């Protein structure tokens, strides 16, 4: 019984680790680009003393939209591979 539990934990731990890596790979580039664009817009706003809140939203939305459009296929392939790995691991998880 103890060996079966260890095998279950090992398989589940591997899936959890892969899920966290896929989440980081998908989200970090988008968040980083949005932060960089937001910082650049804030610098321009500080230099021009224009403090309109809607000016900061549009460049960030466009950046996120373009990034998702360009790399969305790669992200879907990563998610599909993770899903296939999770389905393949179900017998090991269910039976230990």
Whether residue 4 has pLDDT greater than 80: no
pLDDT at 5: 67
Query: Is the distance from CB of 92 to CB of 7 less than 8 angstroms?
Result: yes
DSSP per-residue string spanning 22-42: HHHHHHHHHHHHHHHHHHHHH
pLDDT in tens, 31-57: 999 999 999 999 998 899 888 877 888
HSE at residue 30, side-chain half, CA atoms within 13 A, is 17
pLDDT in tens, 55-79: 888 999 999 999 999 999 999 999 9
- The ranges assigned to domains in the chain are 2-95
């Amino acid at each position: 019984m103890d060996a079966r539990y260890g095998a279950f934990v090992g398989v589940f731990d591997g899936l959890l680790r892969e899920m966290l890596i896929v989440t980081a790979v998908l989200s970090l580039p988008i968040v980083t680009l949005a932060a960089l664009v937001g910082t650049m817009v804030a610098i321009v706003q500080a230099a021009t003393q224009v403090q309109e809140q809607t000016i900061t939203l549009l460049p960030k939305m466009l950046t996120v939209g373009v990034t998702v459009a360009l790399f969305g296929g790669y992200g879907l392939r990563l998610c599909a591979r993770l899903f296939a790995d999770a389905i393949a691991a179900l017998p090991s998880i269910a039976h230990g």
